[in-house]
Each structure stands twice: as C-alpha cells, then as structure tokens.
Structure 1
C-alpha cells in the first residue's frame, strides 16, 4: 500500500470490562465529514492483504497459515463474506450496512494471491477483490500475476479493480510539475489502468485503491470528478458517513493481524456521530489530511449522539500514546500535546460498545511534510 503505511498502531486500552494488551488503532480515512447521523450503527469492514507468503517484505506479508486462521475465524463466528460491490452500493444508496459482514481485498496483484489465497477462498465460495497496477503485469515483472492468471480469477468470480498504472506516491509532484500537470498525470495513470483491465478482463468497476494509501483533498476531488470510489490503506469500520473517496480498510501484514488482533478488528463498530471536523490550533477549519506546513497539532472535534458513550471515549496519537480529551456533554476536542512527527500520523478514539469484545472506533489520519515543504524519504 510495496510499502505499507507504518501504522504504529499498538495501543493499550483499559476499560472496566476488558483489558486488551495490544489493540491496533483503527483509522477512518479522509477528514471526517460534518454529516448528521443518529441511531445505532451496524458494522461492516473491508479487509486488506498484500502478500500471502512466508517470505518477502515483512510489513506486507501474511503467512498462508495465518491467512487460513483468519478465514476459519470468520466461518466459525458466522461472519458473512460479501462482494465489495455490495458494501459500496449500500453506502451509495444510504442503505443500512449489514452487521458482522466483511469484504476481502488484496493490493498489487502478487502471484501469491493466485497460488495461496485463491484456493482457500474458492474452496469456501467466498468473493474477493484484487487491486492491480497494470505496469508490472504488462511488463511481466517477477512475483506478479499474469493476465492469464487474472482471467482465471475473473472466471472464478473475483473482482479486479484499479491500483493505478504505476505505484506512485500520488500526493507528490514530480520535478517540474505544476498542479495541472500533476493532476493530469494522475488521471492518465488511473484511466490507463482502467482501460487495460477492461480490455483484458472485461471488468470496469471504477474503484481505485490508493498506492501506499496516500491521498489528499485534491486527489479525492479528482476521483469524485472522474466518478470513482477511493479505497485507502488505513484501518476502520465502514459507517454511513464514510467518505466514498477514501473508504477505510483493515490492513494486515507484519506484526499486525495475529488471530486475537484480527478478532478485534472484524468486530469493530463506528461511533454514531452527529458531526466531526478538524481545525488548526487557531480554529481554522481543515479539509485536507495533508497538513499545512505551519500545522503540527491539529484538533479533532467529535459530536456524539450519546453523552454516556462520549464520557467513556479514550483517544491516542501516533507515537504519543494516550492524549487528553476535552469533554462538554456530547462534544469532544482531541489534540496531541506534542507535535505530530513528519510522515504519517493519526488520532484514534475508542470506547467499549457494551458488547463483549466490541469497540466503537473513529480515527483521523494526517500527513506532515518536512518543514521546508520537501517530502520525507521512505
């Protein structure tokens, strides 16, 4: 997402009911929209994988044995595995999201999906989606599926969708690019990949999974203008207020995704929010998760339906652990006491639902560049 977002998500959260030793923080992608939402919310989640193998980049691989454990857990605990299209359509049509429901996705099109994941999922009759960069497939890079293998997946009912032509850092302009040429390059890469997928496989969903999970407001606006749904590479349950240009997914790989961690993630539920927004320290409203160069301690504002739940919310910041929450009845203000690090960061807020093993989650990602405006290296 390949380089995956270094999420640093382990957090210690204690409640009177459950004490979890390690909890992966859940991310709601995109700046939270100021939409009025009320009532209880059921939960559906999108799962994301890269490599299904024992070797390869540690941050993006899930062993075949652990992947099998994930699938066995879903079956044993009566989760429904559905097509990604069903969840996207429910959000578009403002229909209730089914509880205990998951969609399974893979990024990049690695051949381990064909050799290891396909047999397990096909045996269970479960649908899934693969987001591909078309350049590695067209150029027959080692370790990626071929078009013939992707055709075999398609014949098995698998959805193949867009990860752009090349695996760019989409937020970053290349040398000499102005805003217009940067957006033209991104659009051309998205359209080229969509055309290749349609030509080779006859599939044309107009869904884009962001390479590296990186996006900003301008990229989201571009996707909306193109009529695409965007999927990001950070975690969180779907909600009625989820932004269709930055849908959350639970990413598995590296140290994240042992079976206990997996059980927590698939059971999460969204908060019932009336409003949520982000401001600078001076009170200026922010609409972009890519922070201004002068901003390092943004403020997340949450307005919950339920004051009792609001009183129980705990919040965390990347690299800083638990952070203060200012409360005023239904309304919360959350701000890191120290500057967020350069790179990827997030605020994560959670509360127990009252149902054993289930938590409400809402989280906000941020990106910070170097003070001189240059991008950090990875």
Structure 2
C-alpha cells in the first residue's frame, strides 16, 4: 500500500504546477455571487506575498509552455473576466499597490454599447498600463448553444471592435461562463489565439493544453490554502463528450496513468463516489439523470488532483 501511494504521488506531482485565478467584480456587494470584497482581495494578496508566490501574467506561463519548460510551483496569475467597472473603480488600485499584473478579458458588447456597469474603452486603455487586455467574446452568449456560423460571427465582430478601439489584436480568449465543448474549442482555436482559458479547478504545468488552460474562480470569502492545493490530473476523456440527448448519463470512459488504481468520481447533484481504475482506464456504466443545465463531471485521486468535463444542456 505504501509503495502504491508513493508511486501515485511521484507521478501526480512530477510536474510543477502554477495556478491561474479568475475574478469578476470587486467591492460590489450588490452582486455577491461574482464579487470579491476589497478586504478579501487584500487578504489574498497578502497571502501570496507572505508565502513568496510570484505573480506573473498568463503570457509568462504560456511562454514556458511553448518552450516546454517547467513552470515554477510558486507562480500564480490573476485574470479578470467581463471588465466590470468595479475593477477600474475599486480593484485596480490594489493591483497597483502590490504591483501585481493581471489579464483583463473584455465583454466587448457591454463596453461598446456603454452599459453602465462596465468599463469604457478609455478605462480599459488606462488599465492596459498595468496588465494585459484580452477577449471575452462579443455578446457573452453560451457558445455551446450557438452554431459554428454564429460563433464565427460573434468572434469576428468582437475582434473588429476590440482592435478598432485598442489598436491591437488580443492574444487570448476566455469562454463566457467558462462553458465550452470540443466543437466550441476548435472554432475559437481557429482564430489563431495563443491560448484559451476555461474556468475549471486545476493547475497549469508543462503538459497543459494551451487551448484549455485551467482557472480557479475566486469569489466571496474563500480558503486560499485549499484553492492552491488543486493540481491537474492528466486524463483523456473518451466519453462523454457532449450533453446526452435524453439527459441521461450512461457511460463514462477516461484514460489516466496506469499507475493509478483507485480514483473518485464527481457528478453534479450526486457528489463524490469511489471508483476503480483498471490498466489506466476508468470505464463506468451509469443510469443517472443530469439535473442541471450546466453539469460538471470530475475525476480525482484525492479531491485536489483533478480533471473536469462540462456537459451543457
């Protein structure tokens, strides 16, 4: 048993793991589900400072990935989705105080149409002095529910307006709501972005997919020590790939490292259960109704070393 545990640990932690986090609103108590208070934000920044973490842009991490270099364990990156005005009015000063860079992903329609809760193009330009500005779609619709043609139209429009107002092309894209499947991923990838970001728990290491980078959401009061424990489990999801037409999850098949003999399975609304792994294959027959429009399936060895699959109705 001891040998088995050591073998699994040596495999799972062979690669150094950096962490990328995603924020939305700052100091905006009207929207608790997406808000981080300024007190909480400073507490988190103090934690990273006290524990010798190095805050970098996602581009620095991507550079390591492209060069097939190990990414230091103490690297973290901060991303901000949507470009809410509360970032410019409240959050930006703390990023400047700690000299922490960031990647801001712009919901283009909201800025272009001057929705009052969102940053203006001038505010985004000002923010670009301290971080990198990237793309978060034009209309912020659920991409899995759009046709390929609609995805292409939305992204082309976003790119056109983004470049016209900021004078450069974005290098990266983050999915609205963090929702995607292989079809969506391939359509967005075709635009030539250097990297694409999801919103799945996990880390980034030298084997990570540039077009499927994990980001851990930070919202409300969180236990940062728990969040930083997340690692990415290398896994090849064979089945399922998309939400089943009848809404019934019947089969899960995932390929993992052959040294792993036991794992845990998570399904939204059903929680965790122990599962067996045979010769590196998780192969489970099920008959479970998916109860949500957005369902998460996860495979883990210890709750923290994890691989995710989203199924969107």
| TM-score range for the pair, normalised by the shorter chain length | 0.7 to 0.9
Aligned with residue 205 of structure 1, among 170, 177, 180: 170
In structure 2, what is the equivalent of residue 303 of structure 1?
256
Q: Matched residues in 2 for 1:333 and 1:241: separation?
A: 24
CA contact under 8 A between 1:54 and 1:64: conserved in structure 2? no
Q: Structure with the greater relative contact order (CA < 8 A, sep ≥ 6): 1 or 2?
A: 1
Q: In structure 2, list runs of 5 or more residues that go unmatched.
A: 1-10
Residues 336, 348 of structure 1: alpha-carbon distance in 2 compared, 3 angstrom cutoff: farther
Q: Matched residues in 1 for 2:50 and 2:42: separation?
A: 12
SS in structure 2 of the partner of residue 98 of structure 1: coil
Q: Matched residues in 2 for 1:194 and 1:368: separation?
A: 26
Q: Matched residues in 1 for 2:107 and 2:172: separation?
A: 13
1:110 and 2:106 matched: no
Q: Matched residues in 2 for 1:45 and 1:298: separation?
A: 31
1:192-236 per-residue CA deviation (whole Å, 9 max, x = no partner) reads 222333232233233111112122222111122221232122322
Aligned with residue 232 of structure 2, among 270, 285, 289: 270
Choose between structure 1 and 2: higher helix proportion.
2
Q: Matched residues in 2 for 1:343 and 1:58: separation?
A: 21
Q: Matched residues in 2 for 1:251 and 1:336: separation?
A: 30
SS in structure 1 of the partner of residue 277 of structure 2: strand
Deviation (angstroms), 1:302 = 3.7
Larger mean CA deviation between 80-89 and 93-102 belongs to: 93-102
In structure 2, what is the equivalent of residue 239 of structure 1?
205
1:8-66 per-residue CA deviation (whole Å, 9 max, x = no partner) reads xxxxxxxxxxxxxxxxxxxxxxxxxxxxx998111111100111124122221111111
1:348-370 per-residue CA deviation (whole Å, 9 max, x = no partner) reads 33345xxxxxx75222223253x
TM, length-normalised to structure 1? 0.72
Residues 334, 127 of structure 1: alpha-carbon distance in 2 compared, 3 angstrom cutoff: farther
Deviation (angstroms), 1:326 = 1.6
Q: In structure 1, list runs of 5 or more residues that go unmatched.
A: 1-36, 174-181, 280-285, 353-358, 370-378
Residues 39, 248 of structure 1: alpha-carbon distance in 2 compared, 3 angstrom cutoff: closer
